């Protein structure tokens, strides 16, 4: 049951992020939204595009993070977040550009790369 609840939570996060991305694209005619603030929480987005092997259109690739902003300015935290995730984002694009995205199991090994990336850096 706990695993099922965890998967539902992941699905809800994905839907929420997709909705925010669609909102930014529709309301501002761009998906350049970088962050949202709520109290001391900063919800940061980094959006890129990657080519799927099973689709002619580019697919959105979104990395996000939740950051406690109680002690620092939002702009500094966003800049630091982008500096951390940009190399990881580029690595993902290099590794998976042009592959069939319907085979989601192929991405599970990248989770280990993400963990190592944040532990080492």
Q: Report CA dihedral (27, 29, 33, 36) to the nearest 10 degrees.
A: -10
Which tens digits make up the pLDDT trace of 57-100? 888 888 888 889 888 888 899 999 999 899 999 999 999 999 99
Let me know how many helices (H) and strands (E) the chain has, helices first. 3, 3
Name the residue ranges covered by the structural domains of the chain.
1-32, 34-120
Question: pLDDT value at position 1?
Answer: 46
Asked whether the whole model's pTM tops 0.85, one would answer: no
Q: What is the dihedral of CA 67, 71, 73, 78, to 10 degrees?
A: -20
**Which pLDDT belongs to residue 8?**
55
């Amino acid at each position: 049951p706990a695993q099922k609840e965890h998967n539902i939570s992941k699905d809800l996060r994905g839907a929420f992020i997709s909705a925010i991305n669609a909102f930014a694209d529709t309301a501002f005619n761009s998906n350049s939204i970088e962050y949202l603030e709520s109290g001391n929480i900063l919800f940061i987005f980094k959006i890129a595009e990657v080519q799927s092997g099973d689709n002619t259109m580019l697919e959105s690739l979104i990395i996000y993070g939740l950051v406690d902003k109680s002690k620092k300015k939002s702009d500094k935290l966003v800049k630091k977040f982008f500096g951390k995730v940009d190399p990881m984002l580029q690595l993902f694009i290099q590794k998976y550009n042009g592959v069939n995205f319907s085979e989601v199991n192929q991405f599970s090994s990248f989770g280990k790369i993400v963990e190592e990336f944040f532990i080492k850096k």
